[in-house]
């Protein structure tokens, strides 16, 4: 099942897409796609609703992030063997973890703003994992049961802030609009193998990234289990699992985003994003 949220920023309503591709308003059934409603059992109950009785949403409303109330936006660095190779980095012996500010989260088609002082704003298409119930010290075998679903994530990154300004990567990852999420939260029953999902990203129609989650070093199940050793994972938390090769930083010469650029990206089965780049 594909769940989403639509409406103006801060006032989005929950919805689902029925088997005919019609957007159906869920706000008469639930307050939002957040907290306890992200429990896999709750989402299964919602999927059983008679969608013909839900109001159809007309037109092409703005889509917001498909989940609300995200407390942690956790990212995994250098988690694709081919991306690590393009950056000249060694394969990390354990996952590299950094945080992205939740204030970076925006809708999948909202404009991305280059922050003031930026000279190296870059792109990264990623598989996002949304946690559905509290996970603490879970095993790798148990981990899939804690996943509400999957989504496309654009991990926009300012490389000068990230690498040249010392300290943690977070400062280069957290500008407002640097975390487009969605368009959909796709439940695990429609993603039979998260480790075999093609993904791509284009800038102004030119393909920059063309990869697959099958080159991930650390799998979704491993990451959920691993992270739950160090912090409890709560409903609505998002894990962005890394990017395949083709980022601007890895090109010769490097190529970065500029105002007016058009970016499109997709993880197969999880929906497409498109953004216009503007200057903050």
Does residue 240 share a domain with residue 167? yes
The contacts of residue 147 (CB under 8 Å, 6+ apart) are 40, 129, 130, 131, 132, 188, 220, 224
Tell me if 148 is assigned to some domain.
yes
Does residue 212 share a domain with residue 96? yes
* Number of domain units in the chain: 2
Is the peptide bond prior to 253 cis by the omega test (within 30 degrees of 0)?
yes
Q: What is the pLDDT of residues 76-133, one digit of tens each?
A: 988 987 766 666 667 788 999 999 999 999 999 999 999 999 999 999 999 999 999 9
Burial class (CB in 10 A: 0-12, 13-18, 19+), 97: middle
Domain that holds residue 261: 73-279
Tell me if 259 is assigned to some domain.
yes
Show pLDDT as tens, one digit a residue, over the chain (280 residues). Answer: 999 999 999 999 999 999 999 999 999 999 999 999 999 999 999 999 999 999 999 999 999 999 999 999 999 988 987 766 666 667 788 999 999 999 999 999 999 999 999 999 999 999 999 999 999 999 999 999 999 999 999 999 999 998 888 878 899 999 999 999 999 999 999 999 999 999 999 999 999 999 999 999 999 999 999 999 999 999 999 999 999 999 999 999 999 999 999 999 999 999 999 999 999 9
Q: pTM of the prediction?
A: 0.96
Distance of CA 237 to the CA centre of its chain: 11
Distance of CA 58 to the CA centre of its chain: 26
**Which DSSP symbol is given to 204?**
T
């Amino acid at each position: 099942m594909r769940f989403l949220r639509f409406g103006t920023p801060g006032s989005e309503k929950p919805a689902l897409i029925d088997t005919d591709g019609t957007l159906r308003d869920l706000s008469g059934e639930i307050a939002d796609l957040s907290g306890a409603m992200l429990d896999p059992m709750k989402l299964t109950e919602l999927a059983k609703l008679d969608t013909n009785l839900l109001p159809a949403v007309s037109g092409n409303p703005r889509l917001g992030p498909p989940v609300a109330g995200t407390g942690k936006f956790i990212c995994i660095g250098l988690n694709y063997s081919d991306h690590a190779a393009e950056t000249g980095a060694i394969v990390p012996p354990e996952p590299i973890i950094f945080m992205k500010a939740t204030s970076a989260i925006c809708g999948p088609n909202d404009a991305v703003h280059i922050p003031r002082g930026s000279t190296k704003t870059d792109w990264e298409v990623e598989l996002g994992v949304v946690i559905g119930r509290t996970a603490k010290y879970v095993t790798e075998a148990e981990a899939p049961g804690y996943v509400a679903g999957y989504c496309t994530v654009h991990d926009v990154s300012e490389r000068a802030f990230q690498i040249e300004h010392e300290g943690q990567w977070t400062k280069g990852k957290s500008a407002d609009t640097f975390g487009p999420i969605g368009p959909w939260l796709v439940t695990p029953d429609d993603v039979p193998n998260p480790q075999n999902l093609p993904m791509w990203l284009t800038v102004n129609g030119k393909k920059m990234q063309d990869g697959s989650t099958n080159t991930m070093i650390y799998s979704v199940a491993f990451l959920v289990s691993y992270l739950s050793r160090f912090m409890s994972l709560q409903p609505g938390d998002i894990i962005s699992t890394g990017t395949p090769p083709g980022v601007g930083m890895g090109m010769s010469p490097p190529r970065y985003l500029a105002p007016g650029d058009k970016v499109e990206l997709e993880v197969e089965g999880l929906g497409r994003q498109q953004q216009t780049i503007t200057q903050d």
